[in-house]
Amino acid sequence: MRIVIVGDGRMGRAVRRLAEERGHTIHALVGAAENPGGRALAADRLAGADVAVEFTTPAAAAANLERLIEAGVPTVTGTTGWLEALPRITALVERRGGALLHAANFSLGVHLFLRTARELARRFAGRAEFDAFILEEHHAAKLDAPSGTARELQARLAAADPERAFPITSIRAGATPGTHLVAYDGPYERVTLSHEARSRDGFAAGALAAAEWLPGHPGVHTIDDMLGGGPE
């Protein structure tokens, strides 16, 4: 496939390396300097591309997605912190008959962790002697907090146990690619379930798998659509 990568930061570079290892061609790697407001994502530059992978910043993502969808390029985005623009982007995808897949976390382990956390919440429902909380930790350069994954975890826990609060604490320090933990703390004991990413390559591999899947699947998708079986 010919892949456009938008964002030449840590994730964009990891996706490029893995894509080349898998035999794909990098049609373009678009950095911030040439792309204010999505300006570089014009139809002539994108002509011949099969799919785009977007990893930029919360402030830049919506304009990039609009330009890519307008140009008819199926687009995978892993950027977090832009979801307030999702209704507008969804309307555009529908109007243009385009394809978008967005995920705050492309690691397979995180999706299994989210499903397991929901089961945990069901088992603790009604046990008022336990307090629940979420802790998430990322490297110092991550711009948004709480993480998109922590918000998703909170939503799924609340859906399984609407009576309980699931407050989130965020830590931004050091170099960790991402850790998420849910804990139930009772008077005599604590139960925790956590996911710890060891490298960005797990996210890059998931984004690339999504890029290979997305062409031919019009509409707005999450990673659950790709994995099958729904969010459970």
Using rule CB under 6 A, residue 7 touches ligand NAP? yes
Residue 75 in the binding site for ligand NAP (CB under 6 A): no
- The distance of closest approach from Cβ of residue 134 to ligand NAP in the complex, given in angstroms and rounded to an integer, is 17
Q: State which of residues 4, 5, 30, 69 lies at the interface with ligand NAP (CB under 6 A).
A: 30
Name the segment binding ligand NAP (CB under 6 A); options: 9-17, 19-27, 128-136, 187-195. Answer: 9-17
113 lies in the binding site for ligand NAP (CB under 6 A): no
Q: Which of 19, 69, 105, 137 binds ligand NAP (CB under 6 A)?
A: 105
Q: How far apart are CA 131 and CA 40, in angstroms?
A: 49
- Given a contact cutoff of 8 angstroms between Cβ atoms, the answer to whether 202 and 108 are in contact is yes
Cα distance between residue 140 and residue 214, in whole Å: 32
Which one is catalytic: 102, 138, 180, 195? Answer: 138
Residue 213: φ, ψ to 5°: -85, -35
Binding flag, residue 80, ligand NAP (CB under 6 A): yes
Give the pairing of strands 190-196 and 179-185: antiparallel
Active-site residue, 142 included? yes
Binding mask 34-73 for ligand NAP (x = CB under 6 A): -x-------------------xxx--x---x---------
- Interface residue with ligand NAP among 31, 72, 109, 231 (CB under 6 A) is 31
Binding segment for ligand NAP among 4-12, 17-25, 117-125, 184-192 (CB under 6 A)?
Answer: 4-12
The SS3 assignment for 221 reads: strand
Task: Match 């604490």 to its residue by tokens.
Answer: 169
Name the one range near ligand NAP by CB under 6 A: 20-28, 87-95, 97-105, 157-165. Answer: 97-105
Distance of CA 98 to the CA centre of its chain: 19
Q: Within positions 145 to 204, which residues make up the interface with ligand NAP, using CB under 6 A?
A: 203
- Dihedral angle of Cα 29, 198, 231, 84, to the nearest 10 degrees: -50
Question: In the chain, count of helices (H) and strands (E)?
Answer: 8, 10
Task: Give the whole-angstrom CA distance, residue 8 versus residue 24.
Answer: 17
Three-state SS at 172:
strand
CB 208 within 8 A of CB 77: no
Look at residue 164 and give its three-state secondary structure. Answer: coil
Site string for ligand NAP, 116-145 (x = CB under 6 A): -------------------------xx---
**Residues recognised as catalytic:** 138, 142
Q: Which residues bind ligand NAP (CB under 6 A)?
A: 6-12, 30-32, 35, 55-57, 60, 64, 78-81, 103-106, 141-142, 203
